Chain A
Amino acid sequence: MFRQARWNERLIFELGWPGRRGYVVPKVEKEILEAVGGLKTLLPQELQRRTPPQLPELSEAEVVRHYIRLSEMNYGVDSGFYPLGSCTMKYNPKVDEVIAKSPHITMTHPYQDERTVQGTLEILYLLANWLAEITGTFEVSLQPAAGAHGEFLGTLIMRAFHKSNDELEKRTELIVPDSAHGTNPASGAMGGFKVLVVPSDEEGCVDLDALESAVSERTAGLMLTNPNTLGIFEKNIERISEIVHKAGGLLYYDGANLNAILGKARPGDMGFDIVHMNIHKTFGTPHGGGGPGSGPIGVSKSLERFLPIPRILFDGHRYHLDYDKPHSVGKIRSFYGNTGVLLRAFTYILSLGAEGLEAAAEVSVLNANYVMKKLMKIRGLDLPYALERPRKHECVISCKRLQRETGIRALDVSKRILDYGMHSPTTYFPLIVDEALMIEPTESFEKKELDRFVNIVQNISSEAYSTPDVVLKAPQNTAITRLDEAKASHPRTMALSWIMYQKRNL
């Protein structure tokens, strides 16, 4: 039976003792102190901090034990199955971590003379080329720090493109399907566009008639995930591309689901003009509990001039950073990108090579279909949309019947899965499926682990029909039982920091 550690660990502010310290700042050399005096002479009294910050005071050993205990109350992909849909929780290779800790990367400054960072520039240059090859795009920028950051950059490029045609004023609408990730409409709005939502058809794909009537001379572009969030390939992609392009819009590829088609098909070949990749999904870099990720974008030849600065060039001899791009949209962050993350993607691709990437795609799709076929047979669960069509890297199952017949919701199922020592799937997404469980097994887990997952869900279904209380009270084996999430967001009970908690006397 799974049991997560239950430390009942105090907040770090409640630990320690006044006067304890966890790290000693080296003393300033005597000669320096004599030459410049101390803080008193360097900083006028009125500019100085008077009350020390309320930071904890602990020895190094206490700090380490505290955070190790916290880590024991956290579930990572190294802990077991992690079928979080649209998040592509693959194994994070250990060699990538070792290489990423090299001082040759960690201890270099972004403004170092190009001649002193040729190794890094070479890696970034090659990686950008490989990503362009994988996505079928002309040129890749590594700058965005995450997928959503890449999407935002994509909307800026759309703006720049339409502006260059003197059409920005009238091209004010961005179209997204109703099955889209929330980032798509949010990015569109950040890019200054009005967001139009098109419905899905009975197959779970973009409704072509609806798309036809949504496009107009106001269309700036369409953002599309393919395979979509139901795990279904948009088989009308050629027609979709035609409709959008004919209307003068651009086609944007949300790369969250790229894993399914690595080496099999390429967004660029399907007519996508702008493509983002989630390095922390498709290329196996750790997600860090919420980042750092990395979200490079690739673009077609006609959009290349709008990419952010700088660009990495190779003259056959040396690598350079090129800032001379008059049409560039500028920058969306400091420096060049999340280099530490990109380096891991470089080693990941080196390990798999072309053949391995394709194998990763195929096995991820096989795993998803395998799990889907088995889950469909479980009482209370249904597969919405396109029963006869294969899924790609993920599948979406509805618990609506289970809810109707037993009162057990997708939320309850997801909490009960935790009790069995697995992470649960994404819940309540996409929005077009009631009581959705969105399952993405990835290629990283063995058949036995997939079977164990299916058995767990089977058990939960049985429990729902016989002893629903067990499911409703879940989870019980985790570090903590079910949390009152509404309380955390209520103005009266909200505590977003230790000081806020103390002030409100909660």
Chain B
Amino acid sequence: MSKASVHPYIPNSVQEIKDAMIREVGVSRIEDLYSDVPRKYWLQRRLALPRGKSEQEIRRLVEKTLAKNRTIQDMPIFLGAGCSPHYVPAAVEAIVQRTELFSSYTPYQPEVSQGMLQALFEYQSMICAITATEVANCSMYDWASALGEAVRMATRLTHRAEALVPRIIHPERMMTLAAYTKPAGIVVNPIGYEAETGLLDIEELRANITERTAAVYIENPTFLGLIETHVDKIAEIAHDHGALFIVGVDPLSLGVLRPPGEYDADIVVGEGQALGNPMNYGGPMLGIFACRDDMQLIRQMPGRTIGMTRTVDGKQRGFCMALQTREQHIRRERATSNICSNESLCAVAAAVYLALLGPTGLRELGETIMCKTRYAMNRIAEVDGVNIPLFTSPHFKEFTVNFDQAGKTVHDVHESLLQHQIHGGKSLCQDFPEFGETALYCTTEIHSKEDIDRLGQTLKMILGGKS
């Protein structure tokens, strides 16, 4: 490397230093350190990559590229389906920018990592608090992979190989579940919904549950934003048959909704992105994973978990990774999962977020979201030809809008809305053709009355043929 190309990230790229070190190592040039790489594999050319750029050039280039995007600041976006726009308080950002936290590795040396460990212990504790469980891990990749791991855990615990899952869940979640369970020989059987309410069909559940069922899974709220009313009954049916009851949640609903621990969920999973983490085009997300305080369950849990302990001299409280004997670096092929790196920093953001909101804030936010959801549904219901919602149950955050009677496709409506600087909901046409021309809309606290009114008015204009 020439003098001019000494790189700011590589202190020892100065030739003099390299020469001194090469001498010390006892070789004549750096290439000698690669002498055991068979010659035929030496790359005889430079990689075909752009030349290195200065920081200023990089910022100009990348910011220019990113400026091609349009964001929730440019237009109201009514998309949810597992990733949703929420306000992130400035204090959350201030904490996760602390380099002592974000530039650290997994806390293998707990004595110099107490900050991260305690923050993650607090995250676990807050997840337990909102879900009414007693044990949580310090995160999975996202809701979908957490579900896959939960079903695998249930089959290990019950020595059974079937799971019952609502037919209407997020298609990407269903696909991920299949990827996680198929290699283990687990069969996932879908359970339908009641035509009127859209909730899990209890009779179908009863008819399908057997002594081979390892787990019954439900989501509350459901993929379509519906609040399950039969949770106690479903728990009872699952437990009567010796199956575990797994519940998927939106954590922001838990300030107002009964928490799954109160209706006997054994394992709780969910998407924690909404807790103080930006959408980031769908990643990183934050997989929630919690369970009851039962040693059998705890021993089969996947992922990293932080425990409280004391110093060897017994004088002081401290934190470290617990139950590592379940994990890949010790148990290897018999580990409960291969996961090691998770989404810890997102979990810290979630902890700070929940600490800022407190019990009152979480409840108020849940109520706000419910009010805005209902208001948006009401405004859209005023539009002729729109069938909203398809089902009668109470809704949280998300709801379906059907355009069959308006004689327009979801695609047409989307195109027209976009022309009016509004991004409509997610089309369900391809994944759930049975719902006809239906889209899934999402409203949160970030949508103002003005945004929602504008959506209603614009839909009227588009569908009323008056535009």
Contacts and interface: CB of A to CB of B under 8 A. Distances in A.
A363 B18 contact: yes
A373 B20 CA distance: 13
Given A63-B355, A330-B178, 14 more contacts: A52-B363, A71-B100, A87-B105, A105-B66, A149-B141, A182-B332, A291-B344, A340-B280, A351-B53, A443-B9, A480-B114, A485-B320, A485-B321, A497-B127
A438 to B, nearest CB: 11
Contacts of A192: 182-185
A9 B63 contact: no
Interface in B7-24: 7, 9-13, 17-18, 20-22, 24
B340 A146 contact: yes
A122 B68 contact: yes
The listed residue with most B CB atoms (<10 A of its CB), out of A74, A270, A359, is: A74
A288 B100 CA distance: 9
A73 B115 contact: yes
A387 interface: no
A43 B333 CA distance: 47
18 contacts: A22-B89, A29-B449, A44-B229, A74-B113, A95-B58, A106-B278, A108-B72, A123-B66, A190-B183, A190-B338, A287-B102, A289-B105, A335-B83, A347-B58, A351-B53, A363-B18, A370-B21, A497-B136
A151 interface: yes
A332 B315 CA distance: 45
The listed residue with most A CB atoms (<10 A of its CB), out of B41, B134, B337, B370, is: B41
B357 A188 contact: no
A414 to B, nearest CB: 7
A187 B315 CA distance: 40
B163 to A, nearest CB: 16
Interface stretch (B253-261, B384-392, B399-407): B253-261
Chain A residues touching B, range: 35 or more
Interface in B268-318: 271, 278-285, 293, 295, 298, 304-316, 318
Interface stretch (B201-209, B239-247, B371-379): B371-379
B125 A13 contact: yes
Given A39-B370, A84-B105, A107-B279, A358 B47 contact: yes
Contacts of A33: 371
B370 A104 contact: no
The listed residue with most A CB atoms (<10 A of its CB), out of B47, B111, B176, B305, is: B111
Given A35-B378, A447-B21, A20 B108 contact: no
A12 B355 contact: yes
Contacts of B28: none
Contacts of B50: 349-350, 353-354
The listed residue with most B CB atoms (<10 A of its CB), out of A82, A133, A159, A480, is: A480
Contact of A290 (B89, B278, B342): B342
Contacts of B195: none
A328 B80 CA distance: 25
Interface string A369-385: 11001100000000000
Contacts of B142: 145, 333-335
B196 interface: no
Interface in A21-57: 21-26, 28-29, 31-33, 35-36, 38-39, 42-44, 47-50, 52-57
Given A366-B21, A370-B21, A489-B322, A496 B305 contact: yes
Given A146-B342, A235-B37, A333-B145, A107 B72 contact: yes
A76 B95 contact: no
Interface string B60-87: 0111011111111100010101110100
Given A23-B357, A104-B66, A289-B106, A445 B11 contact: yes
Contacts of B323: 488-489, 494
B52 interface: yes
A102 to B, nearest CB: 5
Chain B residues touching A, range: 35 or more
B134 A484 contact: no
Given A339-B280, A390-B35, A189 B334 contact: yes
B41 A270 contact: yes
A113 interface: yes
Contact of B36 (A49, A89, A356, A390): A390
Given A23-B357, A111-B79, A191-B183, A489 B325 contact: yes
B342 A186 contact: no
B200 to A, nearest CB: 15
B282 to A, nearest CB: 3
Nearest to A357: B47
B197 interface: no
A133 B174 CA distance: 33
B157 interface: no
B114 A484 contact: no
A352 interface: yes
A210 interface: no
B46 interface: yes
B49 A133 contact: yes
B355 A334 contact: no
Interface string A319-339: 000000000011111111111
Contacts, number: 733
Contact of A475 (B10, B111, B118, B138): B111
A444 B281 contact: no
Contact of A146 (B10, B17, B280, B339): B339
A292 B59 contact: no
B298 A496 contact: yes
A446 interface: yes
B410 interface: no
A314 interface: no
A478 B50 CA distance: 44
Interface string A466-487: 0000000001001111111101
A400 interface: no
B282 A335 contact: yes
A63 B361 CA distance: 14
Contacts of B318: 480, 483
Nearest to B323: A489
Given A289-B348, A351-B9, A25 B332 contact: no
B143 interface: yes
A340 to B, nearest CB: 4
Given A57-B358, A390-B36, A28 B371 contact: yes
A359 B10 contact: yes
Given A64-B95, A104-B66, A290-B116, A133 B47 contact: yes
Contacts of A21: 356-358, 360-361
A97 B97 contact: yes
A55 B130 contact: yes
Contact of A482 (B32, B111, B345): B111
Given A91-B9, A102-B66, A185 B293 contact: no
B49 A49 contact: no
Contacts of A444: 9-11
A55 B357 contact: yes
A93 B58 CA distance: 12
A447 B17 contact: yes
Nearest to A364: B10
A213 interface: no
B133 to A, nearest CB: 8
Contact of B359 (A57, A69, A119, A349): A57
A84 B108 contact: yes
B10 A363 contact: yes
Contacts of A25: 357, 361, 364-365, 368, 445
B108 to A, nearest CB: 7
A263 interface: yes
Interface in A165-187: 181-183, 185-187
A195 interface: yes
A92 interface: yes
A286 B62 CA distance: 19
A54 B129 contact: yes
Contact of B18 (A54, A190, A338, A366): A366
Given A12-B122, A287-B104, A355 B357 contact: no
